[in-house]
Amino acid sequence: MDKKRNGFSGTGISLLVIVFAVLALTIFSVLSLMTTRQQLSLTKKSAATQEAYYDAEYKATKKFNELSRLISNDYEAAADAAESCNAALTKSDGYAVCSFSERINEKMMLICEFSVSLGDGKVNVNKWYCANIEAEEETTETSRPQISNRPGA
Amino acid sequence: MKKQTRSKSGVFLMELLISIGIFSVCAAVCIHLLAVAESERRYSENLNTAVNIAAACADSFKSGNDIEQIKNELPKEAKSFRCTFTMVDDGGTQALDIMISDDANEYIHIKAARKGDTDG
């Protein structure tokens, strides 16, 4: 019995402990790196979308300002300008209604519509919202009536 | 008997040395990974904050505020960033160039435009 007890020298235990410690350390560090990588990729995507949105909105606002100024001054000249910048311009009940869209990215676009009173030149923004390109194309193709609670819609 | 004990302790010491060596190498690699993760987390947090600050400034500009008002309304998180505002007049459209950066990185650069006089 004594012989057996003396035979135990602890050989192998330190290696075992180290293996478990290294395993735990590796698992935690890899998990933490993976989480932060995913978080960073999501944040970068969000930042890129935000940049693309403001870029599209800047272009749309520029177009809006140019067209609204032209419509209030000279409707015929505005019609030509609207055609050159892919905007639809219609006239009804003393109002000129102009609508256009600006692409934000592959999935989203900014829909804009405004009306200008041909009498006093007052401008009113009817629609200014982001929409999914596919959903919007589907709506246009099937000509479904738009039921929404968007402001101005 | 004495010879056998010396041999066992020698094996144990050798094993301990090898274990410590392996542990040191692996710990160095893992600590490096953790440091990379920490720096990426900090960058991600800063980018997120910068995006929020830029969006808030753009909305403030669009609502009619001037640069001084926008600077006064900056959130307290903006103190750790360098916020640069440049007013641009692009063919009658008033625009504000917003750039949020710090000493190491430029996080976001957007341009917000203000609509002309409208009723709605």
Residues A43-77: b if buried by 16+ CB within 10 A, e if exposed: beeebebbbbbbbbbbbbbbbbbbbbbbbbeeeee
Predicted pLDDT at B51? 95
Taking the Cβ of residue B89 and every Cβ of chain A, the question of whether any pair is shorter than 8 Å is answered with: no
Cα A131 to Cα A43, A103, A146, A148, A151, distances in angstroms = 21, 10, 13, 12, 14
- Yes or no, beta carbons of B47 and A43 under 8 Å apart: yes
- CA B106 to chain A, closest CA, distance in angstroms equals 12
More confident residue, A12 or A24: A24
pTM for this entry: 0.80
- The whole-angstrom separation of Cα A53 and Cα A42 is 16
- Percent of chain A scoring above 70 in pLDDT: 82
- Yes or no, beta carbons of A9 and B8 under 8 Å apart: yes
ipTM of the complex: 0.82
- The whole-angstrom separation of Cα A36 and Cα A44 is 12
Residues B18-33: b if buried by 16+ CB within 10 A, e if exposed: ebeeebeebbeebeeb
Which chain A residues contact residue B91 at CB under 8 A? 62, 66
Predicted pLDDT at B21? 92
Predicted pLDDT at B15? 86
- The whole-angstrom separation of Cα B81 and Cα B105 is 10
- CA B69 to chain A, closest CA, distance in angstroms equals 20
**Whether the Cβ atoms of residue B8 and residue A9 lie closer than 8 Å to each other:** yes
Predicted pLDDT at A52? 94
- The whole-angstrom separation of Cα B23 and Cα A117 is 78
> Residue A146: pLDDT above 60?
no
- The whole-angstrom separation of Cα B7 and Cα B15 is 12
Residues B41-68: b if buried by 16+ CB within 10 A, e if exposed: bebbebbbbbbbbbbbbbebbbeebeee
Predicted pLDDT at A110? 93
**Whether the Cβ atoms of residue A81 and residue A70 lie closer than 8 Å to each other:** yes
- CA A82 to chain B, closest CA, distance in angstroms equals 17
CA nearest to B18, candidates A11, A109, A35, A137: A11
Identify the bridge partners of residue A115 per DSSP, sorted by sequence position.
A97, A124
Which chain A residues contact residue B109 at CB under 8 A? 51
Q: pLDDT tens track of chain B, all 120 residues?
A: 455 556 777 888 888 898 899 899 999 999 999 999 999 999 999 999 999 999 999 999 998 888 999 999 888 888 899 999 999 887 778 899 999 999 889 999 999 998 876 655
Tell me the pairing of strands A95-103 and A123-132: unpaired
Which chain B residues contact residue A11 at CB under 8 A? 8, 11-12, 15
